[in-house]
A and B are shown apart, each in its own frame.
Chain A
Amino acid sequence: MKISKIIIFISILSFLTVSCEKDLLNTIPKDRLASDLFWQSEQDALYASTGIYSRLGGQWRYCSMDAFSDIAHFILQWRAESAIEKNTYDASNNVVGYEWAHYYGIIQVASSFLENVDKVEDMDPDLNARLKAEAKTLRAFSYINLVMLYGDVPLVTTSMSVSDAKEIGRTDVSVIWDFISTELTEAAADLPPVQTERGRVTKGVALGLKARAMLYAGRYSEARDAALAVMALGVHQIHDSYSELFDYAGESSSEIMFARQYAKDLDAHEIFYFYTANSLYTQECQVIPTKPLVDAYLMQSTGLPIGAPGSGFDPFDPYNDRDPRLYHTIYINGDTLPNGAVLNTLPGSGTGDDITSSAENVTQTGWYFKKYVSDADFASPWNCGVNLIYLRYAEVLLTYAEASVELGGANIDQSVLDAINELRTRSDVNMPLVTTTDQAELREIVRRERKIELALEGHRLFDIRRWGIAEDVIPGTVKGMTYEDPANPGTLVMAELTGYVKEFNPAKHYLWPIPFNEIELNDNLVQNPGY
């Protein structure tokens, strides 16, 4: 081989090398957006604003909250949720960690939005103000939940470096309530009463959340004023049908002020599966109602609690003549299920819902939840689009009532009774009017109204915490329906999970612990008492 050929040979190889040289190591992602390219236009601001909403929680979180109180039970005992329900959890419990991370996640996107949105030049100042107000509202919403779950928490309002995050301490709850109050007041000023895009927070939401926060904080007059401000807006009304509110028909009702938005096929949840009767879909049901909830519904004719003398309650016909919200919230024996079958949970019924069945996800209390379970979702139970409600006008009215009752004196007037009675006079509820102005009686009425009206909407845990009644209502076994023993007519039997014993230590369980990993990583975080 001649020298010239060698040169050609080497040249070809070198050419191959050089031609492949460019950008071999400098790969630029094409499937995501580098941050330096963002924050250029109004559209980017809208994208980022939508990004905050996209962090709002999912259905599992939403539906599990009431199982941590006395009114619902989490079936699968191996899950971390079950340890929360029984109060046998510790700081390493997954739920304790997830909730913390979840709300701080919303806070991060909101804070990042507030830090960066002014980078967008030529932005309509009204749009800028409105989107900032939305971010602040969503951030305040997160802090309300954090405070109620953990007590003092770090108050984070900007993006954090890892080293800062390992040093931040806890902020006193009163400071955080102040922060929430201020932020929501400011936000309300910049928010419109109605948004063209349903799902975005409005002036009413900022004020309604403020009312909730101040009620939780025990700042009753602030709570009352905020509730009144919502009522004065005039854009929200109690929906005439209680049952419609939790189905597709009620989605556009003005009573629903703020909800996690879902749409079938586009962004769906599985609430139908979560509550389904076992006879419809086996191994799916997760949460079921318990006796404290079912017993709380009054007798419709007399307006009395079932245990009160003269209430008209018949233990052998326990579901007759009850507050109709029971029928809209819970499947009881004899109800028609979404597949057209009739629910029968009695022992020996031969259905897939026999409470003594050895199948895992059968109700053990004899009931299933109906709220949010839409017949329309039966065919595709994993594809449910009903929005899950965070805030509705009924709660604002109850906040107004409760704050007024707690303030007492002249604050207890006809407007308080009207607020409560508005909920009881929906056409599909139709309960006797409340007339008493006695503070103690009204307190009990308002608390019962919250329990049944707002059941399954995630309020109960916080309510029993702030009322200080958890040690009275939590401990003991989970109990279910009382039924006439088919084997021994005339004998009543109560379903009970005898091996499932819930605890409550008031010195400890009124707050969750700070998640184990957070404490491990940050010496300045002091654990809650008892953990």
Chain B
Amino acid sequence: MKKIVFLCLALTFSVSVFAQQSVKGTVTEAETGTTIAGATVLVKETTIGCITNADGSYEIEVPQGAETLVFSFVGYSTVEVPINGRSNIDVQLEVDVTQLDDVVVIGYGTQKKVSITNAVSNVTADELSERNSTNLNQALQGKLPGLTIIDYGGAPGVENLMLRIRGTTSLNSNEPLVLIDGVPGELSRVNPVDIESVSILKDAAASAIYGSRAAAGVILVTTKSPVSGKLSVSYNGYYGIARTNNNPVHMEAVPYMKLQNAAYLNSFGFQYYTDEYIEQWPQNHANDPEMYPVPHQWFDALYSPAPQQSHTITLSGGNDIVNTRVSVRYMDQDGVLPKYNFKVAELRANTDYNVSEKVRFNSNLNLRNTARQEPYNSWGDWTQLTYRILQNSQWAVPVYEDGSYGLSVDSYSPLILANEGGLTTNDNTSLIGIFKGEYDIIDGLTLSGQYSIQYNYGYTSSFSNKYYFQDKLHPSRITVSNLNYMTDNRSLSKEDGLDLQLTFNKTFGNHTINSIAGYSQIHYENTYIGGYRQNFYNNDLRTLSLGINDATQSATGGNYEWGLRSYFARVNYDYGGRYLFEANARYDGSSRFSEGNRYGFFPSFSVGWRLSNEVFWDPIRNIVNEFKIRGSWGQVGSQTVGLYTYIETYNQSNYIFNEALATGYRQTRLASQNLSWETTTQFNVGIDGYLFDNRINFSVDYYKKNTTDILLALPIPTLIGLNPTDQNAGEVENWGLEFVLGGRQTIGDFNLALDFNINYNQNEVVNLSGTGPYISAYGNSDYRTITTEGEPINSFYGFETDGFFQTQDEVDNYANWDGSVGPGDVKYVDQNLDGSLTPEDFVILGKEMPDWTFSSNMSFGWKGLTLDLFWQGVAGSQKLITGAMLEMGIWGGFCHEVFEDYWTPENTDAQFPRPTKYTMKNVQISDRTMVDGSYLRLKNIRLSYDIPSKITDRVKINNMSVYVSATNLLTFAELNMYDIDPEILGRGPESSFPQTSVTTVGVNINF
């Protein structure tokens, strides 16, 4: 709430010829002691007043008889101070916790929270600092009603977070537009220490001013502005250790071998291990653990606690002409798996220049370099490493006593993949410059312009090693990579944006008008180049030119660009602080569409009524201090189609003649001339209120949004022979409720604050224009979703089950499917009773996107100590168990200990079917493979201590706080049964970097 906004108050000075008294003093912030420039000082019940200077000082002539001075500043509580004949009065302003005067950043401007008629939620720096996350995404999780963030985990520097504002609107991209100081960017690329505020524009009325890119909502990030006054220096730093949570436990050796034997017997009629071998195994293992290892030791061998640290130094200060804030940061983060590392070095410099009372400039520069490394991975989206930890890696000794690697039965070692397989490094440098000018033409009328440019230089190098490893005890187990090879890719992108705005703000009696008209354009271009060579002298000389000079060397390159041009306007009308009205419009043109379809128009309207400002509210104003009803309607767009899809093109497609490459060209995809915007129409009603001296705040929102003309690559008959292109078709509806409830109370030295955010969202595909259903996979897939009319997008789709077959007779009299089905196998329901099991018997099994998302912040303060708890959870979500976690040892994969309770003729009431080998018949996608994905987790717990000023003063420190915090300490979830993290990606631990729990100690010092 330290929002520094310069209000241009038109204060009139009534000059008195009578005797006056001069009062001087300084206004400072109570918490930090920094001076406050621009604070208003008024003689009570007069219009006599002044504004504090850059150093927070003021001097005011007070007429005789005046008794009280009123000090106020946006974001702070107003203070009334009796003069009592003093000539020097210093005042400390407390940060205003009532939030009533909060100013919220909205599209192209700011607005007082109380007069907002749209669905906007907002979080400020103070609230964010409770979560010392390494990136902003994690810090925002659960903080903002209406914003769902699912943290899929991810390797350091490659966050895997899904952001959804009010559900899934489209079948295409649902990623919100993120603007950092008005410039498109990524949340993860801002130093959390630099954040002043984050706003979420949820309904169409709030986001329509961003038109064609706003369909999935807008996130506005504002970085901290300079604070004038003497130079202040602060340091924020932390050191943390990440550990994996949720390591599944493998079945012990003897039960595992018995399960495998049962599986072989059931499938092939022989048992794999002799009874004698199993019987002697425990003794053998005790005598010779290298020859007789336990089935799975990879978690111990691979995972290790990973340190991370971050240091930010911020300098801020200036005078009434130039104010600057500069922050520099260094961050270093290791992964819990070997060879993963991420480093950030960044600098942000934000400078205000007050040329005159009417002309202001601002420059905002951000230079950021990131360096990331990870083991070489040839698998694209999936990492072979995480897959191999769970698949085909059994019965190996990761490292023998002599230091040599051991290999699994299938000759794999994830440890070799990590340590010896090669390395991928990514080095990314971005430079963002924003230059802004503002000119107050006349009172209330301001012209502003902003030019921004973003350069991004990326360099990715991948080197796959040459290696040969043989297991010393099992010579048939060999893993080999015959050739080392390297790819080297570099790309340069440039995005420049221009924004021009004319704003007009004026109050005439009871009428207040805020309006804006603007123009915006963005141009993006990207060029890239890449090279490949193989057969390097050794694995260490990783330079492209050292690869062998043969026909395999290759180079590639290209470029692409896109542009957006927009005109927008907003008018905001307030009558007497009671009746509020707003209208927005944006006219957007995009290069992604053909001429004639290029422009789209996106309007919105909203109204609000502050009942609490009406006379009839007087009787209850003491209880309900503030109450507002608001409603909005609007349209926003989405332009999620590939570039140039409207042009029919021939692509190079080569062939070999005479053992040499011959150039060929062919069309690969239909052109789609009439493509245009995807449109989301949203309706929103809500109430906001404050109770009991503003100690309790609440809001409730209901929304309904319909997305039409969804850009779909509709399936076309494949006999056309070309790939389909996007068409405008389809409609998806989302509706939901959002509840916010907050309360704070101070009793003596105790402070208590509680906040609850609850969101409910329902998603339904209304219409697919006669196409569909879209089914992601058929056959023996272990992940399958369907998008069909009347159901949520991407619902899980598979068989219903009806227990296990108990007798052969039961099998013989049941629908025909797999010839090898027998007693103990899963009985899938033949829905259409046609006597055979086919995809026509599939039913919808649920969906991953939760119905309910909820979070709660609990803060307990006592003197300088504060304990913050952040809880987060979802309900109404299903998870599909996949891969080894599903397969109970059918293939050579990890076999979880829960599978011990399997069907045998003696144990017919088992939880799991009879084991089988090399067949997926018992693990088809079905209600059996779904687990309730609901969870409640203590996402973050933090204890902080503000060192008393008695101590800090002695060492010349303004203030200092230390904290210790931990993430993901406690989780309640049904998924705990499989040790699967509830926030992990759809396909589960095989394809995701492990989730971690991070313990951190940190310090914030203000010198």
Judge if B14 is at the interface, Cβ distance under 8 Å.
no
Q: Select which of B498, B656, B664, B716 is within 8 A of A17 by beta carbon.
A: B498
A251 to B270, CA, bound (A): 46
Stretch from A258-266, A454-462, A466-474 forming part of the interface with B: A258-266
B268 and A497 form a contact (CB under 8 A) = yes
With contact pairs A20-B523, A54-B664, A83-B780 given, residues A31 and B559 touching in the complex (Cβ less than 8 Å): yes
Judge if B654 is at the interface, Cβ distance under 8 Å.
yes
Stretch from A207-215, A237-245, A307-315, A514-522 forming part of the interface with B: A514-522
Judge if B17 is at the interface, Cβ distance under 8 Å.
no
A518 to B718, CA, bound (A): 7
Judge if A29 is at the interface, Cβ distance under 8 Å.
yes
B657 and A359 form a contact (CB under 8 A) = no
Enumerate chain B residues within 8 angstroms of A55, measured Cβ to Cβ.
653, 666
Enumerate chain B residues within 8 angstroms of A503, measured Cβ to Cβ.
819
A508 to B387, CA, bound (A): 39
A1 and B920 form a contact (CB under 8 A) = no
- Among A20, A44, A50, A90, the most chain B Cβ lie within 10 Å of the Cβ of A50
B721 and A108 form a contact (CB under 8 A) = yes
B664 and A47 form a contact (CB under 8 A) = yes
Stretch from B73-81, B153-161, B486-494, B911-919 forming part of the interface with A: B911-919
Judge if B811 is at the interface, Cβ distance under 8 Å.
no
B658 and A351 form a contact (CB under 8 A) = no
B666 and A77 form a contact (CB under 8 A) = no
Stretch from B33-41, B109-117, B198-206, B404-412 forming part of the interface with A: B404-412
- Among A27, A44, A498, the most chain B Cβ lie within 10 Å of the Cβ of A27
Q: How far is the CB of A20 from chain B (nearest CB, A)?
A: 6
With contact pairs A80-B779, A500-B820 given, residues A51 and B358 touching in the complex (Cβ less than 8 Å): no
Stretch from A159-167, A174-182, A286-294 forming part of the interface with B: A159-167
- Among A88, A267, A281, A356, the most chain B Cβ lie within 10 Å of the Cβ of A88
With contact pairs A9-B439, A50-B655 given, residues A27 and B550 touching in the complex (Cβ less than 8 Å): no
Judge if A499 is at the interface, Cβ distance under 8 Å.
yes
Enumerate chain B residues within 8 angstroms of A56, measured Cβ to Cβ.
655
A522 to B439, CA, bound (A): 63
B476 and A267 form a contact (CB under 8 A) = no
Bits for B265-298, please: 1 = Cβ < 8 Å to A, else 0: 0111110100000000000000000000000000
Number of residue pairs A-B, CB distance < 8 angstroms? 292
Q: Which of A1-51 touch B at CB < 8 Å?
A: 1, 6, 9-10, 13, 16-17, 20, 23-27, 29-35, 38, 44, 47-51
B666 and A82 form a contact (CB under 8 A) = no
B721 and A104 form a contact (CB under 8 A) = yes
B476 and A35 form a contact (CB under 8 A) = no
- Among A9, A25, A49, the most chain B Cβ lie within 10 Å of the Cβ of A25
Judge if A129 is at the interface, Cβ distance under 8 Å.
no
A49 to B647, CA, bound (A): 22
Enumerate chain A residues within 8 angstroms of B476, measured Cβ to Cβ.
279, 350-352
Stretch from B189-197, B588-596, B695-703 forming part of the interface with A: B588-596
Judge if B382 is at the interface, Cβ distance under 8 Å.
no
A17 to B519, CA, bound (A): 9
B657 and A162 form a contact (CB under 8 A) = no
B560 and A31 form a contact (CB under 8 A) = yes
A261 and B272 form a contact (CB under 8 A) = no
Judge if B910 is at the interface, Cβ distance under 8 Å.
no
Closest to A95 in B: B779
A265 and B563 form a contact (CB under 8 A) = no
Enumerate chain A residues within 8 angstroms of B356, measured Cβ to Cβ.
1
Closest to A37 in B: B650
Enumerate chain A residues within 8 angstroms of B717, measured Cβ to Cβ.
162, 165-166, 168, 518, 521-522
A80 and B780 form a contact (CB under 8 A) = yes
Enumerate chain A residues within 8 angstroms of B665, measured Cβ to Cβ.
33, 38, 44, 47-48, 50-51
Judge if B307 is at the interface, Cβ distance under 8 Å.
no
Q: How far is the CB of B808 from chain A (nearest CB, A)?
A: 15
A380 to B437, CA, bound (A): 61
Judge if B444 is at the interface, Cβ distance under 8 Å.
no
B838 and A90 form a contact (CB under 8 A) = yes
A265 to B554, CA, bound (A): 10
Stretch from A197-205, A391-399, A416-424 forming part of the interface with B: A197-205
A198 to B656, CA, bound (A): 9
A54 and B719 form a contact (CB under 8 A) = no
A197 and B658 form a contact (CB under 8 A) = yes
B780 and A261 form a contact (CB under 8 A) = no
A88 and B818 form a contact (CB under 8 A) = yes
A27 and B660 form a contact (CB under 8 A) = no
With contact pairs A90-B839, A267-B655 given, residues A359 and B719 touching in the complex (Cβ less than 8 Å): no
Judge if B88 is at the interface, Cβ distance under 8 Å.
no
With contact pairs A108-B722, A200-B657 given, residues A359 and B409 touching in the complex (Cβ less than 8 Å): yes
A6 and B439 form a contact (CB under 8 A) = yes
Closest to B782 in A: A78
Bits for B640-671, please: 1 = Cβ < 8 Å to A, else 0: 00011001111101111111111111110011
Bits for B533-570, please: 1 = Cβ < 8 Å to A, else 0: 00000000000000000111000001111111100000
A499 and B662 form a contact (CB under 8 A) = no
A384 to B203, CA, bound (A): 57
B650 and A13 form a contact (CB under 8 A) = no
Judge if A79 is at the interface, Cβ distance under 8 Å.
yes
Q: How far is the CB of B555 from chain A (nearest CB, A)?
A: 14
A269 to B663, CA, bound (A): 19
Enumerate chain A residues within 8 angstroms of B667, measured Cβ to Cβ.
35, 109, 112
Q: Select which of B266, B477, B590 is within 8 A of A25 by beta carbon.
A: B590
B719 and A32 form a contact (CB under 8 A) = no
A25 and B891 form a contact (CB under 8 A) = no
A267 and B477 form a contact (CB under 8 A) = no
A131 to B463, CA, bound (A): 43
Q: How far is the CB of B430 from chain A (nearest CB, A)?
A: 22
Enumerate chain A residues within 8 angstroms of B521, measured Cβ to Cβ.
17, 20, 24
B661 and A51 form a contact (CB under 8 A) = no
B719 and A77 form a contact (CB under 8 A) = no
A78 to B925, CA, bound (A): 13
Judge if B482 is at the interface, Cβ distance under 8 Å.
yes
Enumerate chain A residues within 8 angstroms of B661, measured Cβ to Cβ.
263, 266-267
B267 and A498 form a contact (CB under 8 A) = yes
Judge if A188 is at the interface, Cβ distance under 8 Å.
no
Judge if B10 is at the interface, Cβ distance under 8 Å.
no
Q: How far is the CB of A62 from chain B (nearest CB, A)?
A: 15
A263 and B272 form a contact (CB under 8 A) = no
Q: Which of B871-887 touch A at CB < 8 Å?
A: none
A51 and B653 form a contact (CB under 8 A) = yes
Closest to B715 in A: A517
A17 to B659, CA, bound (A): 54
Closest to A197 in B: B657
Bits for B801-831, please: 1 = Cβ < 8 Å to A, else 0: 0000000000000000111100000000000
A339 to B631, CA, bound (A): 75
Q: How far is the CB of B616 from chain A (nearest CB, A)?
A: 48
Judge if B447 is at the interface, Cβ distance under 8 Å.
yes
Q: How far is the CB of A41 from chain B (nearest CB, A)?
A: 12
Bits for A136-170, please: 1 = Cβ < 8 Å to B, else 0: 00000000000000000010100010100110100
A263 and B664 form a contact (CB under 8 A) = no
B411 and A263 form a contact (CB under 8 A) = no
Q: List, sorted by A's number, 13 A–B pairs whose CB atoms are closer than 8 Å.
A: A16-B449, A25-B565, A34-B649, A52-B664, A108-B720, A112-B666, A162-B670, A281-B480, A283-B411, A360-B918, A383-B552, A499-B820, A517-B715
10 closest pairs, A vs B, by CB? A108-B721, A50-B664, A501-B819, A51-B666, A499-B267, A101-B718, A261-B656, A197-B657, A51-B664, A24-B563
List 8 other contacts, CB 8 Å, given A162-B720, A266-B661.
Answer: A55-B666, A112-B666, A199-B658, A263-B659, A267-B661, A279-B476, A352-B476, A517-B718
By a beta-carbon cutoff of 8 Å, the part of chain A in contact with chain B is 1, 6, 9-10, 13, 16-17, 20, 23-27, 29-35, 38, 44, 47-56, 77-80, 82-83, 86, 88-90, 92-94, 97, 100-101, 104-109, 111-112, 154, 156, 160, 162, 165-166, 168, 197-200, 251, 261-267, 279, 281-283, 350-352, 356-360, 379-380, 383, 385, 497-503, 515-518, 521-522
